Amino acid sequence: MVIKDYSKIWVWLFLDIYLPSIIMAIARGMLTITLPLYLISAGLDPVYVGLGSASIALGNLLLDIPGGVILRITGEKIFTRISMIVLSLSSLGMVFLQHPWILVMLSIIFGGGRSMWLLARRYVITYYVEYQYRGRASSFIGMSERLGTFIGPGIVALVIDRLGYPWVFLTCFTLTVIAGMLNIAASRLPMPGNRIDSEIEARHRYHAQDLAASQNQPGLLSLAAFSVAQIAVQGVRSSRNLLVPIIGKGIGMS
């Protein structure tokens, strides 16, 4: 049975996926800016600060492919619970274990948990939202990431200024626990429909393949050039998390 009442599916998606994802993204945004600040304050060389700043993204990268295998074995619900445990324990560890390199290792683990969380959320969207609504539903995941990037550093500025680094890590832990509890509570709500039938999904896939075949597709070199450009753009975007703290340190703001 495919979902028919789309007002219900959007409410369900907000409670089960979007709101917890926004909260998780805020925690990730806090850690992304806090880690380089903490490493700089600990007196580490900028080279090591840069390596540490990439730790969350590294954890995300390392779990992308293995996460898909684990998801297939465990199923979405168990996989989501595992991701919540990984996120909560890694952020809790940061509260008590604040040696710079231990924080880097915990951030890698946190990034792996984030990868698992997002993979599980996109799995739900793929298999419970009809094809014509799937793009819109998936785009809200990207919106949650943007909100986290915007709100997270602002919370860090307020917390560090008044309470210090340990409270930043404690706030991140609290946010991950809240997001996990919201997801668990929402998952107990009746789902407004069942998993999309494989025959319907196959028709959607064949339609998409026919549509792609009927259009002029870019060649391999064009795709490779686009991929390199995307990597460069992402590198520039990510470098701001490192450059801002270093520049602030250089002009005496820390």
Full pLDDT tens readout for the chain, 254 residues: 444 556 677 777 788 888 888 898 888 888 888 888 888 887 777 777 777 778 888 888 888 788 888 888 988 889 989 999 999 999 999 989 878 888 889 999 999 999 999 888 888 888 777 777 777 778 887 787 788 777 877 787 777 767 778 888 898 999 999 998 988 888 776 665 555 555 555 555 554 445 445 555 555 666 666 666 666 666 656 665 556 555 555 555 45
What's the pLDDT at 7?
66
DSSP string, 125-169: HHHHS-HHHHHHHHHHHHHHHHHHHHHHHHHHHHHHHHT-HHHHH
pTM for this one? 0.77
The domains of the chain are located at 6-197
Question: How far are the Cα atoms of 61, 139, 236 from residue 229, in angstroms, in the given order?
Answer: 18, 22, 11
Residue ranges of alpha helices (H) inside the chain are 6-13, 19-41, 46-53, 55-74, 76-96, 100-128, 131-162, 165-187, 198-213, 220-250
In the chain the first and final C-alpha atoms are separated, in Å, by 58
- pLDDT in the model for residue 2: 44
How far apart, in whole angstroms, are the C-alpha atoms of residue 55 and residue 102? 11
Q: Are 105 and 90 a contacting pair, CB within 8 Å?
A: no
Determine the pLDDT at residue 92: 92
Please state the CATH superfamily assignment of the domain spanning residues 6-197 in this structure. MFS general substrate transporter like domains (1.20.1250.20)
What is the pLDDT, as a whole number, of residue 109?
92
Q: How far apart are CA 184 and CA 176, in angstroms?
A: 12
Compute the distance between CA of residue 156 and CA of residue 63 in angstroms, rounded to an integer: 27
